[in-house]
Amino acid sequence: MIKVSPKVKNVMEWIFCIIVAVILALLFRHFIGTPTIVQMPSMKTTLMPNDRLILNRWVATVNGKIDREDIITFEAPTGNGTIDNPIARYDYNPTKFWEKFNYYFLENGKTSYIKRVIGIAGDHIEIKDNKVYRNGELLNEEYLQDGIVTAPNGGVFTDVVVPDGCIFVMGDNRPQSADSRNFGCIPLDRVESRVLFRFWPLNKFGKVK
């Protein structure tokens, strides 16, 4: 029987505690919630670059409901859909366990976008005359900055019925946002989180609308 000195035992206990803490932190980050920093101006002025947010992961990991006007994060598409199939393309689909763990759980090498949900499955989204219509009704988008209009922005998905299991998303800063107008609708299984609240800057602390 190998006798372990109290000093070595103490070190091993600390290592074990650190490993457990890291695992719990990763599980919380993946399944419950995580902080993030806004990088790009596509949601300006609702969200500004360097705003600090808390994301609700529960909506993705426990099949929570996504509603219109929710602000969400999702995996960035690798390509555009087509007129016949207006769903954004995702060409990278790892198959090996470590590749899946590294990409989906640790999120190494993964790019995410943050946008607002404009349409859910079955909604008819139409962009015309620099305005957005949903199911034939003009949207009153109070969250847009004064003077912002919704042009096609180089995209072709401006008259779309959102397919089952998908959502149509756009940034609030329409002229500087690559979104569903460009790449098509986002599958729900690519949604990562919903924005819960902003904690920085302090003068904007609270729920984001």
Q: What tokens appear for 172 in the block?
A: 């609030």
Residue 27 has pLDDT above 90, yes or no: no
Name residues whose C-beta falls within 8 Å of residue 163's C-beta, 6 or more positions apart in sequence: 86, 87, 121, 185
Name residues whose C-beta falls within 8 Å of residue 97's C-beta, 6 or more positions apart in sequence: none
Model pTM score: 0.90
Give domain 36-204's CATH superfamily: Umud Fragment, subunit A (2.10.109.10)
- Decide: helix, strand or coil at residue 13: helix
- Distance (Å, whole) CA 152 – CA 134: 15
* Segment 60-109, tens digit of pLDDT: 766 678 999 999 999 999 999 999 999 999 999 898 999 988 988 888 88
Residues assigned a catalytic role: 42, 115
* Over residues 4-25, mean pLDDT: 78
* Segment 141-173, tens digit of pLDDT: 999 999 999 999 999 999 999 999 999 999 999
Give the residue with greater pLDDT, 74 vs 27.
74
- How far are the Cα atoms of 35, 69, 105, 114 from residue 98, in angstroms, in the given order? 24, 35, 10, 26
Tell me the one-letter amino acid at 92. Answer: Y
Q: What is the DSSP pairing of strand 131-134 with strand 186-187?
A: unpaired
Phi and psi at residue 150, in whole multiples of 5°?
Answer: -110, 100
CA 128 to the chain's CA centroid: 26
* Segment 100-135, tens digit of pLDDT: 889 888 888 899 999 999 999 999 999 999 999 999
Query: What local confidence, expressed as pLDDT, does residue 58 receive?
Result: 84
- Distance (Å, whole) CA 88 – CA 120: 15
Give CA angle at 103 (97, 107), nearest 5°: 140
Tell me the one-letter amino acid at 136. Answer: G
